[in-house]
Each structure stands twice: as structure tokens, then as C-alpha cells.
């Protein structure tokens, strides 16, 4: 951390228990914000990514978890009225592309209608809160050009991506219709040690470590030729914050400008552990998407110039960070 402290602002984050939400909460707390993170009531708690924040006595009163749901408009409106946030970050939604084919209705409701409900609550506010919508590079889908930038047409290839396109455009619509400070960050793939275990990068690093330690002997994956622009989540949440500090709201692509295939990720991960992935990886057709996105490569030149942002963690460092974290975690559990 170690960022310069600012005057106390109040932020509201949906999806605070996710990868991005936890890194964003840390960033904002380090800048002196009061942070309110929305969580859903569930039978089993899933707050491991923010437990260190809730237990830190120095953050008492500054980091708060509140119950709510993107499917409940009245609860969202009540939270907004009660908290009166200066900044709202909408990071919550069903976030797994492959799973969205299995639960398309829920993916659409949480991904699109959740944004609508939040925007409506903010539109009725008697102050001027700023809104950030988490858009996704998956919106480009069957890409119209390489690399993809803010003006590249969208061609979504999954229910998840369709919902994100709709949420993106409703954010633009509210900005233009109601003069709201509402912007979207089109974030390309971003990973970290906190990545969910059903995402391909985490599957790879965790399995490689388990293979190295003799805890398993194989890993099944889907399309190994898919290429992605992978960055570090900690770098990307900094871009989210910067977007809401500008004089006027605009949308930005956030990316590293490099693309790597799943095979390259495997090579880097297993090679770091002195293993050959070809000896362990098999095809699992259940993990193939009905419609594939072959390549994503972002042009973040607008963000680099306007926001003075650039990624600090490169591809190889990201892989090593994730592998080291998985190794430490497994060794701690014996």
C-alpha cells in the first residue's frame, strides 16, 4: 500500500468479496476512504478475501459489510440513501463466462438489471455520486479488429458478455440522458492469487503446484489455443479509481497490450516448477464453450494518456506471483 492519504470519502462496492472488490477495498482504505461493501446473505460465508480487513482494528468503522443483492431494487435504493456514497463501484455479477451458458437468466439479471437498479437508485440521489461499471473485454467476442479499443464494435459470444454489453450501454445512456457521472472500464483479463478456482489461470497454477507436491497427477482443460491479454488485478483496480477522479466521465480500455495463449500460460507455470505441462494436461470437453472467443488484445493508450495509468506487473511476474501464493497456501495446510 503506502498511497498518499486523501480526504475521507465514502465508497460503496458491489462484489466486494470477489477478487477485484477486495483489491479495490484495500486501495480505497489506504487512501482514507470509508468503504461499504455489499454482501449477499448465504448459508455459508465466503469472505476469505476481505477477512483481513474486517479483523483489522485500525479499520474499525471504516470498512463495513452491508447486506444487499443486485436483484433487490428496494434494498439497493435504501443502501444508497443510507450510506450516501461519493463513489459507487459495480463489480458484482455472475462473472464466469462458461457458467453463464448454464445459467443465462441469472447471468443476465445480475449482469445487466443489477446495473439498471443501481443507476436508478443513484439517479434519484440528491447529491452527485460517481458510478463505475465493470465492463469486460468479453464484449468484443468475435473481434472486429486487433487490438480492441474503445471504438471497436462489440460482438458478444456468451450470455455473460451479452449482459455486460447491455450494462455498458445503459451506463452510457444514463450518463447522456441524466448528466450523471457514470463511466465504464472495459477491463481485459486480470488475475491474481485471489482469482476464483473455477477460472483457467487459477486452475492451472493450483494444479501445477499440487502436481509438483505429488497431490495429483493430471489437469483437464478446454481450449488451449485461446489467447488473452492477462494483467494483474491490483493494477486494474487502480485504473477504476482513477476513472472516477477525472473532470468528466468517459469509458476506458484497461489492458497490458500483450496477448498470450493458454498454452503459453501452461508453459510459464509448469516451467517455473521445472515441469512439462504436456505430461499432465488432458482435454476436458465439458470446459469448451458453445461459442469461443479466440483472441483478446487491448489497446489501453487512451487510459495511459488520460489517466496516467500503466500496468506494473508483467506476464511472467503475474504467473510467478500466483504459483508462489498457491505453493504457500498448500504448504500452510500441510
Instruction: Evaluate whether 139 touches 165 at the Cβ level (below 8 Å).
Output: yes
3-state secondary structure at position 101? coil
Whether 138 sits among the annotated catalytic residues: the reply is yes
| C-alpha cell, 239 | 485504473
Long-range pairs, 7-10, Cβ under 8 A, ≥24: 7/32, 8/32, 8/33, 8/34, 9/33, 9/34, 9/86, 9/87, 10/34, 10/35, 10/36, 10/83, 10/84, 10/85, 10/86, 10/87
| C-alpha cell, 124 | 434519484
The CA distance from 96 to 323, in Å, is: 21
Whether 136 sits among the annotated catalytic residues: the reply is yes
Q: Which of 22, 95, 107, 136 is catalytic?
A: 136
Instruction: Evaluate whether 318 touches 230 at the Cβ level (below 8 Å).
Output: yes
Give 97's Cβ-side CA count (13 Å radius): 22
Q: Are strands 219-221 and 87-90 parallel, antiparallel or unpaired?
A: unpaired
Q: Grid coordinates 503506502 are at which residue?
A: 2
Q: Which of 26, 34, 87, 138 is catalytic?
A: 138
> What distance lies between CA 50 and its chain's CA centroid?
15
Nearest to 185 by CA among 215, 164, 212: 164
Whether 312 sits among the annotated catalytic residues: the reply is no
3-state secondary structure at position 73? helix
List the catalytic residues. Answer: 136, 138, 160
Amino acid at each position: 500500500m503506502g498511497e498518499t492519504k486523501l480526504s475521507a470519502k465514502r465508497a460503496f462496492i458491489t462484489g466486494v468479496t470477489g477478487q477485484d472488490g477486495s483489491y479495490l477495498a484495500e486501495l480505497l482504505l489506504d487512501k482514507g476512504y470509508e468503504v461499504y461493501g455489499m454482501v449477499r446473505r448465504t448459508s455459508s460465508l465466503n469472505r476469505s478475501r476481505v477477512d483481513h480487513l474486517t479483523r483489522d482494528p485500525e479499520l474499525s468503522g471504516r470498512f463495513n459489510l452491508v447486506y444487499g443483492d443486485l436483484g433487490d431494487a428496494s434494498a439497493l435504493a435504501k443502501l444508497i440513501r443510507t450510506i450516501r456514497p461519493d463513489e459507487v463501484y459495480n463489480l458484482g455479477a455472475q462473472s464466469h463466462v462458461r457458467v453463464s451458458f448454464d445459467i443465462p437468466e441469472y447471468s443476465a439479471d445480475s449482469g445487466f438489471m443489477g446495473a439498471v437498479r443501481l443507476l436508478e437508485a443513484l439517479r434519484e440521489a440528491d447529491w452527485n455520486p460517481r458510478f463505475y461499471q465493470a465492463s469486460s473485454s468479453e464484449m468484443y467476442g468475435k473481434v472486429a479488429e486487433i487490438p480492441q479499443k474503445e471504438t471497436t464494435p462489440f460482438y458478444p459470444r456468451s450470455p455473460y458478455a451479452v449482459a455486460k454489453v447491455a450494462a455498458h450501454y445503459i451506463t452510457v445512456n444514463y450518463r447522456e440522458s441524466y448528466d450523471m457521472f457514470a463511466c465504464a472500464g472495459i477491463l481485459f483479463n486480470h488475475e491474481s492469487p485471489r482469482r476464483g478456482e473455477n477460472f483457467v489461470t487459477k486452475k492451472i497454477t493450483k494444479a501445477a503446484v499440487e502436481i509438483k507436491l505429488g497431490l495429483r497427477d493430471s489437469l483437464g482443460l478446454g481450449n488451449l489455443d485461446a489467447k488473452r491479454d492477462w494483467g494483474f488485478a491490483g493494477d486494474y483496480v487502480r485504473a477504476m479509481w482513477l476513472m472516477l477522479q477525472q473532470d468528466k466521465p468517459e469509458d476506458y480500455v484497461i489492458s497490458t497490450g500483450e496477448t498470450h495463449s493458454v498454452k503459453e500460460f501452461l508453459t510459464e507455470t509448469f516451467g517455473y516448477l521445472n515441469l512439462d505441462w504436456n505430461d499432465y494436461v488432458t482435454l476436458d470437453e465439458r470446459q469448451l464453450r458453445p461459442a469461443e472467443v479466440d483472441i483478446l488484445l487491448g489497446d489501453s493508450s487512451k487510459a495511459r494518456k488520460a489517466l496516467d495509468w500503466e500496468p506494473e506487473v508483467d506476464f511472467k511476474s503475474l504467473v510467478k506471483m500466483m504459483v508462489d501464493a498457491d505453493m504457500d497456501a498448500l504448504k500452510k495446510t500441510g
